[in-house]
Amino acid sequence: MKISIAQLNYHIGNFEGNLKKMLDAVETAKLQEADLIVFSELSTCGYPPRDFLEFEDFIQLSNDCIEQLAVASKDIAIAVGAPRINPVIEGKDLFNAGYFLADGKILHIAHKALLPTYDIFDEYRYFEPGNTFEVVEFKGKRIALTICEDIWNVGNDNPLYTICPMDEMMPQKPDFILNLSASPFSYEQAHSRLHTIKANIDKYKIPMFYVNHCGSQTEVIFDGGSVVMSPDGKVYDELPYFVECIRTYELDEVMEGGLNREQPKDKIQLIHDALLLGIRDYFGKLGLKKAVLGLSGGIDSAVVAVLAQRALGAQNVRVLLMPSQFSSDHSINDARQLALNLNIQYDIIYIEEAYQAYESLLKPHFAGTTFNVTEENIQARIRGMLLMAISNKFGNILLNTSNKSESAVGYGTLYGDMAGGLSVIMDIYKTEVYALAEYMNKNGEVIPENTITKPPSAELRPNQKDSDSLPDYDILDQILYNYIEKRQGPKELIAMGFDEALVQRILKLVNRNEFKRYQTAPSLRVSPKAFGMGRRMPIVGKYLS
């Protein structure tokens, strides 16, 4: 038996486009003489469809896709994920289903049993968990058809669940496992995925064909990385990351094993490639083309500019240099040099005159006060207004350049440098931004060296440095990582050796600035715990505030 894996980039709600991709893939698999082609979880409608699932028309359009795929299954079997209406009155209206189509009809339907409801997942909101577990027989083989999370409770060891679908099916003696997944990217997920697949192989001693989504849906990125693993526990093949791919395998050869074709997993390269895909799909799927951002001469805007140019093309990226009376000459020169290196359009707009106009307007109202963060924020908001003016006039979508460290502690200005249609690096700590810049320069200087080596500064007052109000990023990022990603509280952080007063201060800043993060643009998710849909905190709360 020959099995094709179709690792495709779906578009939520684009039933016509998704169906066409799958039908084209079916024809490719036929040319490769495949007996079976496997698509991923909810591939008819895209993942995650969220509250679109509450519309009857949405479900009917998905059902129409299944009917047309069934027609295409006369010469090749098709395994495909789609929502399915619950045929009984009890329970939720839908199942997260895997359809097995063959000979022009629906041969078998599997219902996802383990519904993740944590981090970015909210499947129990929409779906009824499956409670029947039957293998599907095809061409003399018995196939365990599973959906994503169903393989993440090996031996019923996961405390989130009380049943293990594979344990239920093993008495039926399946020959191999199909897993239809929508496994979102984080820089840790590729390792976790292989670990989980291997745990299944080690326990059940049969091969697995695991097919994953590839592509970005707003903030959630899917890396692909589909896997074929042999009974010997080795990676027979791991498909490339962040690109569509169709490959066909001879089952008997997979059973023999002996190969180990695991992809390299460098963290910074994965983040770089994920962000490129995230930008490209955000623009492409929304029908957008051009981007604009403010280029300050600092490391954050430099990294975002490089990502935008690589994702969208130099002709589609425009930057504004907006120096004030506090901006240093080297920052202006560094920003100009980067724009020249990237061959992108740049304009210089000096904001001192606009700032002085605001200062004059506010002078009678600010009488008796001194220069403070208010005047700093006015500069940031002038820049935000200028960027949005270009966005409105020419249709360039504003890219936000705030990083995770700044966003965590509120080191940013609402309606100023926090403005934008997409936050590109808000899930990357400052230390990771530097590592990303070094990666970008690996084949020659793209980002000026001075941008990387100079002390970071917002340049909103004379001789300002980030270190005036924040601890060194090497320390800050460790505290933030352990608090946000690892959910370590103050006692645990202090026990790790961090200064007690510093821990208390930083955690209060994180919690007090939740209201700012609620008002920011969608941010591309690359970490295991990102701000936004994966981290749900109250704005009004007392804990550590």
Instruction: Give the residue ranges of DSSP H helices in 146-287.
Output: 165-169, 189-204, 251-256, 267-286
DSSP 90: S
Give the span between the Cα atoms of 115 and 129, in whole angstroms. 6
DSSP state letters, 464-532? --GGGTS--HHHHHHHHHHHHTS---HHHHHHTT--HHHHHHHHHHHHHTHHHHTTSPPB---SSS-SB
Q: Alpha carbon of 228 to those of 14, 210, 237, 255: distances in Å? A: 28, 6, 5, 10
Residues counted in the chain: 545
3-class DSSP assignment, residue 100:
strand
Identify the helix (H) or strand (E) that includes residue 17: helix 15-31
What whole-number distance in Å separates Cα of residue 28 and Cα of residue 32?
A: 6
Can you tell me the distance from the alpha carbon of 255 to that of 1, in angstroms, rounded to the nearest whole number? 11
148 in active site: yes
Of 148, 214, 376, 430, the catalytic one is 148
How do 105-111 and 214-217 pair as beta strands? Answer: unpaired
41 included as an active-site residue? yes
Return the residue matching tokens 């109202």: 365
Active-site residue among 41, 376, 406, 459? Answer: 41
Alpha carbon distance 419, 402 (integer Å): 9
Q: Would you list the DSSP string of 65-78?
A: HHHHHHHGGGSSEE
Torsion of CA 45, 51, 54, 60, to 10 degrees: -10
Which residue is listed with tokens 């220069």? 371
Cα–Cα dist 281/300, whole Å: 21
Phi, psi (degrees; rounded to nearest 5) at 220:
-90, 125
Q: Which of 21, 45, 65, 112 is catalytic?
A: 112
Tell me phi and psi for residue 14, to 5 degrees. Answer: -90, 75
Q: Which of 115, 107, 54 is nearest to 85 (CA)?
A: 54
Residue 20: what residue type? K
The catalytic residue positions are 41, 112, 148
